Structure 1
Amino acid sequence: MLAMEDPTLHQLRLLLTLAEELHFKRAASKLYLTQPALSQQIRSLEQRLGVQFFARTSRRVELTATGKALLPLVKQVVDATENLRNAASRSAIGDTRLRLGVCENVAPLEATRSVLGAISGLYPCLGPEIHVFDFAEQMTALENGKIDAAFVYLPVPEGLHSEPLTTEPRLVAVASSDPLARRSSVSLADLADIPVVSLASDMFKAGRDFWAADPRPDGSAVRYTDHHVSRFESLLSMASFGGAIAFVPSVAARLYPRPDLRYLQVRDLPDCTLGVVWPATDHAKPHITALRDIARQVHSQAVLAGSVQNLTRLLELESTYC
């Protein structure tokens, strides 16, 4: 009798995707693989099982009769493995509900929603419970144990562990009546004499400094408004009145379009990173471990998506100029 080698779960997942797409290029793109890599894995799977799942021609890919017959069994194996993993995770986690904090400006973000959706789908026993805070309240809630973790833009105070989710540029928000509003971009030197909207005084210093770009590259200190804000909408409103500016994540231009504001690129301003954070002392707790794993998966998908977008832009440039 012919000895067969067991297929890997990874190969079975690739098989299901190709069976759904029936197109190597589309399937490879969906899986973030090259076509040769996908073809090699499918050939290895067929050799291990001693059957041919697909009939390939220069124009199309079709499931063979054997492939159609075995496909439901392949799906059962993949589903059973997923169910086993999820059951084991739920058993380890127990009935602990995950209490998560969000501020209004991060609640609608795709990365935030992806993490929340994954928690609900993979670990329904975790909840999660969502608590909405302003900037300062959220850090206090983490410190006093009112919440287990929070979605925040980095940096964060010492004693908190962070897992990055996405990175994006920072923009400057200026009043639409400001002469700078006629520009498409500025430098920090162009903003040197304009006060920055001051965040709540009880926010930790490193965070306040980061979101004010204080000090500036030449070492000069930043001037602040006398009025302090603790919510994102208040931050934007203060900038819209004129005479002050606010540095914000680039996604704000899409989520908070306002006729009284303009969002400008700042050529020499470093990017910002959204992350999920929790007390470092809780790092080994099962529900935090589950959150960490999900955050890392969301981050890796964001990095892959960004790499694909960058590659697409490069290929478009090559086709235009080469």
Structure 2
Amino acid sequence: MLVTDDPAVHQLRSLLTLAEELHFGRAAARLYLTQPALSQQIRTLERRLGVQLFARTSRKVQLTSLGHALLPLVRNVVDAADELRNAARHPSDDADALVLRVGLTDCAAALAATRRVIATLTTLHPGLEVDFQVLDLVEQATALTVGRVDAAFVYLPVPDGFETEPLTTEPRVVCLPAADPLARRPTLRLADLSGRPTVSLAPEASPVERRFWAMDPRPDGTRVRYTDHQVTRVESLLSAVSFDGAIAFLPAVAAELFPRPDIRYRTVADLAPCTFGVVWPERDGEVCRGITALADVCRRLRDQGGLPPGTMREPDEDPSTAQHPAGDDGFGAGTTGGPGGGRSVWD
């Protein structure tokens, strides 16, 4: 087959989304496309690359073996395009300005610990500019490795080679389809979930992350059976649970952040909790001033007990009236507004 054109970045994004969902309808909805338009994009991409990326039947969509092999390269191209766009949108006016590039997922952005740390950091260090970048579940580690961000708010564990400052601890819960008989029980045990397939993260996720969030192996030594998905975002993970009858484990705060009528979140009595924190790459030489300041704020707030788990709103609190007055040392900085002093790729 003759290849005449290079693939477009938007076509590569479509490939990544379809690889996550393995369903044209759901992928098209995420991309704000019609299903025929998405199908046309994928066909055009396959023609331009000269390969078949997906095997399609009337019942399901699957990546071909070559499609699996090309995914890491596709992600690299899309990440590079994002980095180029971000650099163009946020040029530095002062080469000597102190800028800290912080990565965080959609989930991390809503947590009280994230808001309190950033608000306190920018209060105590007004000359520090914080540049936020939204990351998916895979990028939260890879973006640090390639130097796209300096530090990131993530759920631990992370691979070797990173420094960590734990902030909060919370339970993990299991996500089940609403129609699952187990969803009628308020509390489960891991043995109840034996044999249920677990939604697979994209292969770029580190093995330590994949094993922790899948509880693989289970306490009895049983290895987990994974689905064929290539998930990088929580919403895609929940769609896979809903449509394909799989399960997934998430922090308990997910029940508040991602309520869905087709999903139930249930306590698992013998499931270990998870820890949320800040991470940055280990360095042999001197750590930059921005990371030093961030690590110091994390330690001081944690030691003072000022970092409750959960979101920036208490369960019974009206967010329109919530107030958090600042203390004399700046470590009571408010959490109801955006991360003050920062610049965001959401803007």
TM class by shorter chain equals 0.5 to 0.7
Displacement after TM superposition at 1:259 (Å): 0.8
Report what 2:300 is aligned to: 297
Q: Gapped runs of 5+ residues in structure 2?
A: 1-95, 310-347
Report what 1:232 is aligned to: 234
Report what 1:160 is aligned to: 162
1:145 aligns with 2:150: no
- Once the two structures are superposed, the pairs formed by residues 53-72 of structure 1 within 5 Å of their partners are none
Query: Aligned match of 1:185 in 184, 187, 202?
Result: 187
Report what 1:176 is aligned to: 178
Residue pair 2:156, 2:275 contacting (<8 A) in 1 also = yes
Displacement after TM superposition at 1:101 (Å): 0.2
Q: Distance in 1 between matches of 2:268 and 2:126?
A: 42
Q: Gapped runs of 5+ residues in structure 1?
A: 1-93, 307-322
The runs of at least 4 consecutive aligned structure 1 residues that moved more than 3 Å come to: 301-306
Q: Distance in 2 between matches of 1:127 and 1:231?
A: 27
- What is the SS of the residue equivalent to 1:173? strand
Residue pair 1:98, 1:128 contacting (<8 A) in 2 also = yes
Post-superposition Cα deviations, 1:104-142, rounded to whole Å, max 9, x if no partner, equal: 121101101111111221112222100001121222210
Residue pair 1:178, 1:242 contacting (<8 A) in 2 also = no
Report what 2:250 is aligned to: 248
- Once the two structures are superposed, the pairs formed by residues 1-322 of structure 1 within 5 Å of their partners are 95-281=97-283, 284-302=287-305
Q: Distance in 2 between matches of 1:110 and 1:301?
A: 15
Displacement after TM superposition at 1:244 (Å): 0.2
Cα 1:172/1:283, change in 2 over 3 Å: farther
Report what 1:53 is aligned to: none
Q: Distance in 1 between matches of 2:291 and 2:277?
A: 14
Post-superposition Cα deviations, 1:14-43, rounded to whole Å, max 9, x if no partner, equal: xxxxxxxxxxxxxxxxxxxxxxxxxxxxxx
Residue pair 1:188, 1:216 contacting (<8 A) in 2 also = yes
Cα 1:155/1:197, change in 2 over 3 Å: same
Amino acid at match of 2:211: D
TM-score, normalised on structure 1? 0.63
Displacement after TM superposition at 1:305 (Å): 6.2
TM-score, normalised on structure 2? 0.59
Q: Distance in 1 between matches of 2:243 and 2:304?
A: 39
Cα 1:291/1:219, change in 2 over 3 Å: same
Q: Distance in 1 between matches of 2:286 and 2:225?
A: 38
* Larger RCO (CA within 8 A; separation ≥ 6): 2
Displacement after TM superposition at 1:242 (Å): 4.4
Amino acid at match of 2:288: K
Residue pair 1:172, 1:247 contacting (<8 A) in 2 also = yes
Deviates more, 1:212-221 or 1:234-243: 234-243
Cα 1:195/1:302, change in 2 over 3 Å: farther
Q: Distance in 2 between matches of 1:150 and 1:159?
A: 14
Q: Distance in 1 between matches of 2:214 and 2:297?
A: 31
Residue pair 1:136, 1:230 contacting (<8 A) in 2 also = yes
Post-superposition Cα deviations, 1:250-296, rounded to whole Å, max 9, x if no partner, equal: 11111111111110001111010001000111773321110001111
Cα 1:266/1:122, change in 2 over 3 Å: same
Cα 1:160/1:305, change in 2 over 3 Å: closer
Q: Distance in 2 between matches of 1:156 and 1:305?
A: 22
Amino acid at match of 1:166: T
Deviates more, 1:287-296 or 1:163-172: 287-296
Amino acid at match of 1:131: Q
Residue pair 2:116, 2:307 contacting (<8 A) in 1 also = no
Amino acid at match of 2:299: R
Q: Distance in 2 between matches of 1:103 and 1:305?
A: 18
